Amino acid sequence: MKVTAKEISKQLGVSIATVDRVLNNRANVSEKMRKRVLEKAEEMGYVPNRMASILSRKVTFHVAVVYKEYPAYFWEQIETGIAQAELELRDYGVTVHRFRLPVEAFTESPERIQEILADDTIDAVAIAALGDAISPYLKASKKPICTFNVDAQNSGRLFYVGCDYYSSGRLAAELVAKLVPAQGKVGVLLGGNHDYQAREKLQGFREGLEEFRLELCKAVRLGESDLPFQPGQQWQKEMAGLDGLYVATAELGNVAEFFSKYPKHQVAALVGHDMNDLIYKHLHTQMIAATITQDPVSQGYLAIKKLFSLMVLEDEDAKQSTITKLEIVMKNNASYYT
């Protein structure tokens, strides 16, 4: 038999409203009554029905998700997770508003973000905190905010959902170390802007290599002129003679494609991040030895679910940040990541 508040009230001979007040720690109940009800509830094994509760409270919860346009393949995976959460929570009165903004909105001209933060039809915000420029706005806002994918440590955000970039670099080091021929020379290819994530990855990679008694021979930063890749660019000269290469930027697929067109540049162990069609292809050609993913689908999903748990269900556990899994993808498990 299902134990309901009504059933408890009947047994106790009090009104259902009183039972409700006790069960939800509302004011205006005598200490005696509180005890009586609590005891009975315990005895009968009462479990509240969140469905009925939400239905009757007519809750609506509008959450804005703010993230970037590129790399498209990556944010589309995040969007898959967002869609999943949306579907699961739509009965609970949750509406998701997506704001996929150009990168400038996070760096130079944050007006759009300010607007969202000021919009009072929005109950909570999940934002990929790309660029430090927006941090002050996050701090200034009184809205519940969580960060995902990229954290903003001192922005007063509720929690962060995303990976640990230091570990990410460390894992890359382990992979390169294990996949490269003994005593091979290893290098790293970095992106143009050396942001927090890039710094953490590099640091992790360095320390990870030490663990395997390898040292980093070359660290090359890609410049404006290096993209798109063509033969004869500066970075290729610098990378010459390496056996293992860690691509710490979002160019893994393009590097592999380049190597496959101009095989003389090729390295024995090519490792990097994320998954897309090109990376998938070159896991299959064995041009890429392994890639590391950070479970973007979960990141999108959890950011929204946790905001809902915390704000609507008032589950304090949701305040904890969630560090998402780093997964190793090779040729024979690549199909699970597309």
Partner DNA sequence: TTGAAAGCGCTAACAA
Partner DNA sequence: TTGTTAGCGCTTTCAA
**Contacts with its own copies in 107-126 (CB under 8 A)?**
none
**Contacts with its own copies in 195-234 (CB under 8 A)?**
208
- By C-beta, is 56 or 332 nearer to DNA? 56
At 224, list the tokens.
Answer: 């404006």
**Percentages helix, strand, coil for the chain, rounded to the nearest 5?**
50, 15, 35
Q: Is the peptide bond before 296 cis (omega within 30 degrees of 0)?
A: no
How far apart (Å, rounded) are the C-alpha atoms in residues 318 and 254?
38
Interface with DNA, residue 123, by CB under 7 A: no
- By C-beta, is 52 or 72 nearer to DNA? 52
- By C-beta, is 90 or 237 nearer to its own copies? 90
Q: Among the residues of the chain, which ranges form H helices?
A: 5-12, 16-23, 31-44, 50-57, 72-89, 111-118, 135-140, 165-179, 196-211, 234-239, 252-261, 277-284, 296-311
Beta carbon of residue 87, minimum distance to DNA (angstroms, whole number): 16
Interface with DNA, residue 21, by CB under 7 A: yes
Residue 216 pairs in a beta bridge with 186
How far apart (Å, rounded) are the C-alpha atoms in residues 140 and 50?
33
6 binds, among DNA, its own copies, none (CB under 5 to 8 A by kind): DNA
Beta carbon of residue 211, minimum distance to its own copies (angstroms, whole number): 8
Site string for DNA, 31-60 (x = CB under 7 A): -xx--------------xx--xx-xxxx--
Q: First and final CA of the chain: distance in angstroms?
A: 45
Interface with DNA, residue 87, by CB under 7 A: no
Q: Going by C-beta distance under 8 Å and a sequence separation of 6 or more, which residues neighbour residue 215?
A: 209
The site that binds its own copies (CB under 8 A) totals a number of residues, namely 37
- By C-beta, is 2 or 264 nearer to its own copies? 2
Beta carbon of residue 15, minimum distance to its own copies (angstroms, whole number): 22
In angstroms, what is the C-alpha Rg of the chain? 26
Interface with its own copies, residue 50, by CB under 8 A: yes
Interface with its own copies, residue 140, by CB under 8 A: no
Interface with its own copies, residue 72, by CB under 8 A: no
38 binds, among its own copies, DNA, none (CB under 5 to 8 A by kind): none
Beta carbon of residue 288, minimum distance to its own copies (angstroms, whole number): 12
CA-nearest of 215, 220, 196 to 205 is 215
Find the part of the chain contacting its own copies (CB under 8 A) among 15-23, 49-57, 64-72, 109-117: 49-57
Beta carbon of residue 291, minimum distance to its own copies (angstroms, whole number): 11
CA-nearest of 182, 261, 247, 252 to 218 is 247
Please give the C-alpha separations between residue 44 and each of 13, 20, 48, 51, in angstroms, as whole numbers: 15, 15, 12, 20
Residue with tokens 């809902």: 308
Q: Using CB under 8 A as the criterion, which residues of the chain lie in contact with its own copies when the complex forms?
A: 2, 47, 49-52, 54-55, 60, 90-93, 167, 170-171, 173-175, 178-179, 181-182, 208, 289, 323, 325-333, 336-337
Contact positions vs DNA (CB under 7 A): 2, 4-6, 13-18, 20-21, 23-24, 27-30, 32-33, 48-49, 52-53, 55-58
